[in-house]
């Protein structure tokens, strides 16, 4: 055995140099405390405290929060989003959509209005057409993670909540498809006509095929396990995370694959099962890490070049979603009060928007720079404001049980 080189191997060096894990752990402690302050004293959803902590950590810790640390959080964001998307797909009932086609029509119309309005106005204020189209497509999305987190925290149940779950799943699909088709147009702008035709086709067909295989395989495995065994969900979590890895390996659409896999899995399952909220505590922890992480990359420069566009995007998407639902929601059996609540509750935007944006930025950094700034600034606003509005909307609809996680 070689001798030690001195006492430096036995005792900490000075000054102390904490690793990235130290700061991540500290941020999570702060996020947990901030979430409880929001719940107990401000009567706001915990997720507002998580988002505020991430933004504060990103602002004050700029010398520490480098690109390496931000890149390392991507896998955690992907894992949290994968679990939420699969769960949301499992909650989407095709039988219900067939019986209530006005709900499907309302969702499609609201999404189309959001995309068109955001795209048109962003171009009018000077954003390039390509970036405006992509930003408009991303604006269509409603965050699966935040919506599910709010539902569980507030213990919300009812017509508005069920429609919110369904429309969040549909909006996620629409946003993924729009961004994929817009990426194909982006390929053509850069002179790659082959990629413009083949890449969107590969993403759509490949993602659907993989989702079908995963849904079938998941049910084949899961059906052989006891329905009341909570540990059987570990197998399901493993399948979801394995599917996430496959989408990255095959370069397919993760949102589309996981959502559709959840839908296929649900409609192969003839045995009723109790679905754990966010796959238990581990899933909830991933949601917290995701929300905190999304506040880290935002810089003052992002606000200087895209702050106005981000504010416009946020205002227009809320207006379009509210207007789309209020104008058509009554045909699916909702009162005006319920339509207003549903339109407001569709506002949350989080990890899915970040994922769609970063995939475009990875392919085309020149286009991605402006898109990145717009989406990051919009997320900084939406992760604070939208959960507050969505929680208010569910209370306004009368669907929050008990004190809804409040004091």
Token digits of residue 76? 């955690």
* Other C-beta atoms lying within 10 Å of the C-beta of residue 216: 14
The pLDDT value given to residue 99: 86
| Mean pLDDT value across the chain | 85
Say which residue the tokens 């004293």 belong to: 41
Are 264 and 239 spatial neighbours (Cβ–Cβ below 8 Å)?
no
Q: pLDDT (tens digit, 9 = 90+) per residue, 334-371?
A: 999 999 999 999 999 988 999 999 888 888 888 778 99
Residue 43 is assigned to a structural domain of this protein: yes
Token digits of residue 311? 């504010």
Residue 18 is assigned to a structural domain of this protein: no
Residue 94 is assigned to a structural domain of this protein: yes
What's the per-residue H, E or C state across 33-91? HHHHHHHHCCCCCHHHHHHHHHHHHHHHCCCCCCHHHHHHCHHHHHHHHHHHHHHHHHH
pLDDT at 1 over 60: no
Number of domains in the chain: 1
Q: pLDDT (tens digit, 9 = 90+) per residue, 105-117?
A: 999 999 999 999 9
The pLDDT value given to residue 369: 86
The pLDDT value given to residue 79: 87
Residue 201 is assigned to a structural domain of this protein: yes
Token digits of residue 261? 């896999």
pLDDT at 314 over 90: yes
Q: To 5 degrees, how large is the angle CA 355–CA 21–CA 243?
A: 35
Residue 3 is assigned to a structural domain of this protein: no
Residue 13 is assigned to a structural domain of this protein: no
Residue 54 is assigned to a structural domain of this protein: yes
Average pLDDT over every residue of 9-15:
69
Q: pLDDT (tens digit, 9 = 90+) per residue, 158-185?
A: 999 999 999 999 999 999 999 998 888 8
Residue 246 is assigned to a structural domain of this protein: yes
- Residue 13: burial class (beta carbons within 10 Å; 0-12, 13-18, 19+): exposed
Q: Which residues pair with 400 in a beta bridge?
A: 156
pLDDT at 123 over 90: yes
pLDDT-above-70 percentage for the chain = 84
pLDDT at 235 over 90: no
Q: pLDDT (tens digit, 9 = 90+) per residue, 25-44?
A: 777 788 889 989 998 988 99
The pLDDT value given to residue 353: 93
pLDDT band at 407 (very low <50, low <70, confident <90, very high): very low
- Comparing C-alpha atoms, which of 170, 196, 189 is closest to residue 255? 170
pLDDT at 288 over 90: no
* Other C-beta atoms lying within 10 Å of the C-beta of residue 280: 14
Range of the structural domain that residue 41 is part of: 23-397
CATH number at residue 146: 1.20.1530.20
């Amino acid at each position: 055995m070689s001798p030690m080189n001195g006492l430096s191997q036995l005792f900490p060096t000075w000054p102390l140099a904490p690793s990235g894990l130290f700061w991540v752990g500290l941020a999570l402690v702060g996020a947990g405390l901030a979430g409880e302050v929001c719940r107990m004293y401000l009567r706001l959803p915990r997720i507002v405290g998580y988002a505020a902590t991430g933004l504060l950590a990103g602002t004050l810790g700029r010398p520490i929060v480098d690109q390496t640390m931000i890149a390392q959080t991507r896998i955690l964001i992907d894992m949290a989003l994968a679990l939420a998307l699969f769960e949301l797909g499992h909650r989407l009932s095709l039988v219900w959509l067939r019986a209530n086609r006005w709900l499907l029509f309302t969702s499609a119309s609201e999404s189309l209005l959001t995309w068109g309005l955001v795209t048109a106005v962003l171009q009018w204020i000077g954003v390039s057409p390509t970036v405006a189209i992509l930003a408009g497509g991303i604006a269509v999305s409603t965050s699966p993670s935040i919506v599910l987190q709010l539902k569980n925290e507030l213990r919300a149940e009812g017509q508005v909540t069920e429609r919110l779950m369904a429309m969040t799943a549909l909006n996620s699909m629409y946003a993924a498809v729009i961004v994929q088709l817009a990426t194909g147009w982006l390929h053509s702008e850069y002179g790659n006509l082959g990629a413009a035709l083949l890449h969107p086709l590969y993403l759509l067909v490949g993602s659907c095929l993989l989702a079908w295989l995963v849904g079938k395989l998941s049910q084949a495995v899961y059906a052989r396990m006891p329905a009341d065994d909570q540990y059987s969900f570990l197998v399901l979590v493993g399948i979801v995370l394995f599917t996430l890895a496959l989408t990255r390996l095959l370069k397919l659409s993760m949102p589309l694959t996981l959502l559709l896999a959840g839908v296929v899995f649900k409609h192969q399952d003839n045995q009723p099962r109790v679905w754990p909220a966010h796959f238990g505590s581990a899933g909830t922890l991933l949601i917290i890490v995701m929300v905190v992480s999304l506040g880290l990359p935002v810089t003052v420069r992002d606000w200087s070049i895209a702050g106005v566009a981000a504010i416009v995007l946020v205002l227009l998407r809320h207006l379009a979603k509210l207007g789309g639902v209020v104008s058509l929601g009554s045909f699916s059996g909702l009162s005006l009060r319920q339509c207003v609540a549903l339109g407001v509750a569709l506002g949350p935007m989080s990890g899915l928007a970040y994922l769609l944006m970063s995939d475009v930025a990875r392919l085309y950094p020149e286009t991605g720079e402006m898109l990145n700034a717009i989406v990051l600034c919009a997320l900084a606003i939406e992760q604070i404001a939208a959960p507050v509005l969505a929680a208010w909307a569910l209370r306004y609809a009368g669907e929050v049980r008990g004190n809804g996680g409040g004091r």
